[in-house]
Each structure stands twice: as C-alpha cells, then as structure tokens.
Amino acid sequence: MTENLARTSSRRDFLKNTSRIVGASALAGTVIPHVQAASDGENTIRIALVGCGGRGTGAANDALSSKHGPIQLVAMADVFENRLASSYRELKNRHPKAVDVPKDQQFVGFDAYQEAMDCLRPGDVAIFGTPPAFRWVHFAYAIQKGLNVFMEKPVTVDGPTSVRMLKLADESAAKNLKVGVGLMSRHNRALQELAKRVQDGAIGDIILERGYRMHGPLASFSSPPKPANEKELLYQIKRFHSFIWASGGNFSDFYIHIIDHLCWMKGQWPIKAQALGGRHYREYEPGVPSIDQNLDTYSVEYTFADGGKFFFDGRCMTGCQDIYSSYLHGSKGSAVVSRSGDCGPPSSIHKDQNFSAATRVWESEIPSDQQNPYQNEWDDLLAAIRGDQPYNEARRGVEASLVTSLGRMAAHIGVEVTYEDILKCPHEMAPDLDKLTMDSPAPVQADSDGKYPVPMPGIKRRREY
C-alpha cells in the first residue's frame, strides 16, 4: 500500500485510477457479481438514511432530487430522536411522494443503523451522515447486506480505522457494490475539465500547490462545558467537530476538500508532512471557556515523491482576513483551482504566475444543469447503479482522509510524519465503536475543570493527545 503511494506515477494514471466516473473503468467487462438497483414494479431504488443531521439530510435531499429516479426514502436512523424527527419533517415537506418512512421504520439508538438497513434489499442504497468515526461500523454492515453506499467525508480519522476501511473498500469492490464518497470537488465539472488540461501539460510540471481555508469559527468547532444533565458520549457526538476521535477535528472535517482536490490535480498523494499549529483565544463566548480539542491555526507543508510541495493554511479565528481558495504553480504557467470555497468556479489557467485577466488563457464554463457538484455526485452514483457500471470511490475516500489526517497529526505532535508512519500508528482513538450503547463511556474524558486533552506538540510526540 505505502509502496504504491510512494511510487511516482503519471498524472494521467493517477486520474484514471482515482477519479473514474461512470463507465470509465478497467473493470468493465470482467466477471463480477451482478448487483444493480433493487426494483419493484416501478424500478424504485430504496434509501435508508443513517445519521439525520444537516449533512445526512442534505445528502438524502440530493438523492431524492436526482434525475435517475424513481427513488424512495424508506428508513431513517439516528441516536438523537429530535434530529431524526426534524430531518423527516424537512424531507417529507420537500419530497412528499418520495418519503415513506412510517414510525416503525424510524429507529433511534446505536444499533439503529442495522434496523434501518434491514429495511432495504440488496442493491438499494444506504446513506451514512454520522460523524466519520462510525463509518467503518456502518460500512461493514452495508457490505454484509449487499447494499450500495453513499458516505459523507471524511471516512476515517486515524491509522487503524484507515487500515480497516481499506480492507472494506476492497471487499465492496470485489462484490461490485457502488460506493460514493462526499468529496464533491471530484464531481465539479470545472475542476474535472481543469484536471484534464493539467494532466495534458497545460501548465507544465506542477512545482507548488497552495490551499487556504481561513474564516471564523463555525459548526461545533468550539464547545462550552458539557451540561450536567447530558450524557458524556452523546454530548461528544452532538458536538463532533470539537472532538478528534469523532471527526478528526476541524482540520479533517473542514480541510479535506481542498487537500483532496489539490492531490488530484498533482496526480499523487503526499508521502510526508511537517506542520505547525497554535491554540489562542479559547473562549466559547465571553466568560465561558471552550473545551474543544482543536487548534485555531494550522500550516502544513506536504511533500510528494517527486519533491513537489503543497502548502495548506487553515484558521478558525474571528476578525482575521478570510481566505478560502486553492492554486497551482507549474513550470509553464499557473491555475486557479477553486476561486472561492471548497470548489468554487470558475477555474482558470494563466500563462505566468500572476492570476489576472491579462494572463488568463482559459476559464471554465459549466453547463447550467450540472453546476451543483453535490447533485452531480448523486447523479453519477445513481447512473452507475442503474447501468450496473463499476463505480467505487471508497479506497480513494480513505486515502484522502488519511492524507488529511497526516497533516493534522504532524501539527499536533510537532514532528515530521510520513504516510507509512500514520498508517502504522497504533493509536485508535475510539476502539469498539460497534459495541456502544447509550450508557457507554465516551472515548475521551474531561478533567476536573470539564476540559478535554489537547495536542501538545513536542511534548506528546507519539500520539495526538
């Protein structure tokens, strides 16, 4: 595994291997078990939603909005009953005919994922919108049931779960299951066109990449002390961005998109990283301490096998300048990858290293019906299911998640980390997640002041906290 990633490959080979779309696969025509959409009289694909927060609800909405219907939501699962109820109301309001989830198919608890997927037939689709720590648990059961999957990013947060998920990815591919991963940059038509041009040499050899996501705190980046009447485990799951075990922290959850799409443009995964980070004004609100595990600032230098560099800067601080974009610098020119946001068009190519209208030689144009990459990823997945085409993004999703964690770990421990280092790191942040109950202890515990362990670079050098 690590030898394959360390070996320098051409951009064209990398793109072929890691960003295949419907019908573009070396597996086409081989003998693979036939797993296509389960169908009734209307050829309806059934969906179960596991994880009913905003991310899962959004994914379900995109699925139900796809042009590759008919599709029906038939089961839902979450550990929070109120979130399930809110998601159900929103989806039922938007898609009254496509949502048919009676009360006895709305499941609450840590085993609810099994009950929801038990409502499906082989070839139907399970959506995973829970915090990423649970991805391997749910994916293993979906493979056992013969279900196609859409799982939100990231899909792992540490080395041991990445090893586990890589095995599951291979198992799902061997069973011809279709798997989508919520790294929507790969389905942004502007970035797809840019990637083709870059691999054909439009800017020469890529020498340097730059990515930035810097803005104020959002989501559950920071959290106040746990209320006395709330269970520790449920509090951490609810505030998952604040806890590294649950989400990889804000670094993994917020920054993976730009890290993924710049590695895609380069045509390689990095082999090592060195990084720094800092924790600064730690109040949730005036007079209320913030108890999260995140750093406020991160700066990572990724190195590729050919010696090329990729610098990523992240910041969650109020009052600072917002920068949220990504760039390529090549031997024959440069490119704007994302102009604003995770994959904001237009992308452009420039004849020198200045990003101006005068130097621009190409700018992307996206068809009006393909401008939403979130919808594109669902249309691509469902088209593959309908046509029984090879389509599996699981391995690439794991690799992108692990490379993101590589940069995070380097910042948290204060020493250079290689890809092989993190893949072999024994620190599984939350073992036995498949055995959780409502009364289980949380994977990380607060001290007497209600605060949780934080990274201590240079002091804790073998694990992140």
Phi, psi (rounded to 5 degrees) for 417:
-125, 135
Express each pLDDT in 309-326 by its tens digit.
Answer: 999 999 999 999 999 999
**DSSP tag of 7:** S
Q: Quickly name the fold that domain 14-186+374-392 has.
A: Rossmann fold (3.40.50)
**374: nearest Cα among 215, 213, 127, 181:** 181
Tokens encoding 212 = 């930035």
Q: Which residues pair with 211 in a beta bridge?
A: 312, 326
- The low-confidence residues of the chain, meaning pLDDT below 70, are 1-42
- Token pair 């939501």: residue: 73
The CA distance from 135 to 129, in Å, is: 9
The whole-number pLDDT of residue 450 equals 87
**DSSP tag of 199:** H
For the chain, domain boundaries: 14-186+374-392, 188-371+403-435
| Burial of residue 85 (number of CB atoms within 10 Å: 0-12, 13-18, 19+) | middle
The whole-number pLDDT of residue 41 equals 46
Rounded to 10 deg, the angle between the 159-174 and 135-145 helix axes is: 20
The whole-number pLDDT of residue 42 equals 65
Express each pLDDT in 215-258 by its tens digit.
Answer: 999 999 999 999 999 999 999 999 999 999 999 999 999 999 99
Q: Tell me whether strands 272-278 and 297-303 are parallel, antiparallel or unpaired.
A: antiparallel
- Span 188-371+403-435 CATH architecture: 2-Layer Sandwich (3.30)
Let me know the angle formed at the C-alpha of 136 by 258 and 296, rounded to the nearest 5 degrees. Answer: 40
Distances (CA, A) of 173 to 23, 27, 239, 390: 15, 10, 33, 8
- Token pair 């690799």: residue: 399
Would you say the C-alpha torsion 400, 402, 406, 409 has a positive or negative sign?
Answer: positive
